[in-house]
Amino acid sequence: MTAVPGGSYDAIIIGSGFGGCFTALPLVEAGMKVLMLERGDWVERGPHNWGDEGAFVLTSHYTTESSFTLASGLGKRPQGLCTCVGGPSIFYGGASFRFREADFDPAPEIVARSAARWPVHYEDLEPHYGTVEHLLAIAGRAGDDPTEPPRSSAYPQLVSPLADASKENLGCSHDSRAASVPDSNGDRWRQMHLMYDVRCFRLRSRR
């Protein structure tokens, strides 16, 4: 375990994944001294990350030591945690979707005054979705997805031409929302976006 630097902090954030980073950003920008704690180590970069064993649940960064049970329409299954600097964001596939309004409705299995229900509604989080989409430079096209909830801000980037081509080849009804950042050559669509589209095509073509 790395020793924690001495001194006092204005805020201490546990976890360095998406939630921790987006919590730390406005605090740091406001001039606060922030300490972020992470139980995992750095993920080694290399071609092996794109191999069959590169999925985070198959790496040493996935642990079930602090597991919990996830209940869904498919039944109950144990869910572990991603422990590394950056958390699940390191294994982020590039697709970014908003919860739908109905996702915030109380589930039928939640009874009485259980604290398991959402304390907020979609409209409470909607402006924050827009903020995060701009930070991640999400590319999308409003109106293509018939299930998309209302939005008050446009996507910060246009849809990749490759996304349009893959949608046509796969018979998809709408685009995926993908993160894309300009690279050093000025190309708007970073390799992460391209690899996401290509991998989607490969997986679906095997069926």
Where does residue 52 rank: exposed (0-12), middle (13-18), buried (19+ CB within 10 A)? Answer: exposed
Q: Is 182 inside a domain boundary?
A: yes
When computed from its CA atoms, the radius of gyration of the chain, rounded to whole angstroms, is 19
- Of residues 66 and 172, which shows the higher confidence score? 66
Q: Which residues contact 173 (CB under 8 A, 6 or more apart)?
A: 144, 145, 146
Q: Is 150 inside a domain boundary?
A: yes
Rounded Cα distance, 85 and 43, in Å: 7
Q: Is 195 inside a domain boundary?
A: yes
Task: Give the model's confidence band at 50: pLDDT under 50 very low, under 70 low, under 90 confident, else very high.
Answer: confident
- Percent of the chain with pLDDT strictly greater than 70: 73
Average pLDDT, the chain: 76
Q: Is residue 133 over pLDDT 50? A: yes
- Choose the most confident range, by mean pLDDT, from 123-127, 176-180, 183-187: 123-127
Which segment of 19-33, 103-117, 125-139, 186-200 scores lowest on mean pLDDT? Answer: 186-200
Domain count along the chain? 1
Q: Is 204 inside a domain boundary?
A: yes
* pLDDT of 152: 95
Q: Is 152 inside a domain boundary?
A: yes
Q: Is residue 82 over pLDDT 90? A: no
Q: Is 206 inside a domain boundary?
A: yes
CA distances from 76 to 2, 65, 73, 79, 206 (A): 36, 18, 8, 9, 28
pTM of the model: 0.69
Q: Is 77 inside a domain boundary?
A: no
* pLDDT of 13: 93
Task: Give the model's confidence band at 172: pLDDT under 50 very low, under 70 low, under 90 confident, else very high.
Answer: low
* pLDDT of 54: 82
Q: Is residue 124 over pLDDT 90? A: yes
Q: The domain containing residue 151 runs over which residues? A: 94-207
Q: Is residue 190 over pLDDT 50? A: no
Q: Is 78 inside a domain boundary?
A: no
